[in-house]
Structure 1
Amino acid sequence: MKISIRRIFVVGFIILLLIQFYQPARNLDYGQVLPSHFVKTYTVPSNVETILRTSCYDCHSNNTEYPWYSYIQPARMFLDSHIKEGKENLNFSTFGNYSPRKQGNKLERIVKQIKSGEMPLSSYTLIHRNAILSTTQKEEIINWINKTKDSLSLGN
């Protein structure tokens, strides 16, 4: 039995059309800032908060600003998997629910990943050019986190 290229293309096209109807719930809190949110847990300077909101919150909070292509499958599935993984590793919206020790570890990981250039992901900054961290922005975040970590250790 010979399967034609045309038949494969038609079946693939139909599958692509059908998956467009799959639109799972979005990761949105509509700007809500819960008591467990990072900015409620710590006194975050506005410049650091702005940097985190621009470069981190889409994948690491409960409030994602979805781009236009998020309505197209399979791009949406790809985005959702990144968001799910990002929130499993660090969720700024529930940061206050972490134990003090875990908060300190998360802050250390943020510093390490910023210094190594692992975060934000290059696949994210490829499209979101404004999320690329400048040297000054990296220093601002790292300096603030180091001061905050020092106060955490003094409080123990």
Structure 2
Amino acid sequence: MSLLKKIVLGFLALLVVIQLFRPSKNISTEIITADDISKKYELPQNVHQILIKKCYDCHSNNTIYPWYYNIQPVAWWIANHVKDGKRHLDFSVFKTYPEKKANHKMEELSEAINEGWMPLDSYLWIHKEATVTASDREAINAWIKGLPIVFEKHEEGEQH
């Protein structure tokens, strides 16, 4: 057997074996948890639906998994992506955030959609429906501006 054939067979065997090791799924029994952002702030239905449709996959306890999640190592990549997204902002536990953190997250949400760095391009490649439209942005920003929160002032060039 040639070296190339051994390498290809070894690679295929590895792909088969890694299918047995799957990360746990990020699925709660309820889409809107007791600590959901809608339990902290009055949230217009249209804005909540925008957040659910365009943000909750990576920023809540309820990810809707595509068929390709069943293929390793894709599932590991998606699980890590969701874990990282929830580390930055988790709408499912938003009510538990201290006030200062919650205010900062609202400021970051506005920045993320206004500057276009959320949703991530890599997510939008397959999830075109998650594109934040101008009307989505306007609705979210209007809602945030109406919240009883005070954003911190940042110096020019300061990281936040």
Q: Same fold (TM over 0.5)?
A: yes
Normalised to the residue count of structure 1, the TM-score between the two structures is 0.91
Alignment correspondent of 1:127 = 126
On the 8 A contact 1:35/1:41 being kept in 2, the answer is no
Alignment correspondent of 1:86 = 85
Alignment correspondent of 1:109 = 108
- Pick which of 15-24 and 29-38 moved more: 29-38
Alignment correspondent of 2:149 = 152
How far apart, CA to CA, are the structure 1 residues paired with 2:140 and 2:32?
Answer: 20
Alignment correspondent of 2:4 = 5
**Structure 2 residue 34 is matched with structure 1 residue 35:** yes
Letter in 2 for 1:140: A
Alignment correspondent of 2:13 = 14
How many aligned residue pairs are there?
149
CA-based RMSD of the aligned residues comes to 1.2
Give the fraction of aligned pairs with identical amino acids, expressed as a percent.
37
SS at match of 1:7: helix
1:39-66 per-position Cα deviation (integer Å, ceiling 9, x unaligned): 1111111110111011100000011111
How far apart, CA to CA, are the structure 2 residues paired with 1:34 and 1:111?
Answer: 23
Offset, 1:82: 0.5
Alignment correspondent of 2:51 = 52
How far apart, CA to CA, are the structure 2 residues paired with 1:26 and 1:95?
Answer: 20
How far apart, CA to CA, are the structure 2 residues paired with 1:43 and 1:104?
Answer: 14
Letter in 2 for 1:129: K
Equivalent positions of 1:59-74 (< 5 A) are 59-74=58-73
Unaligned segments of structure 2, at least 5 residues: 151-160
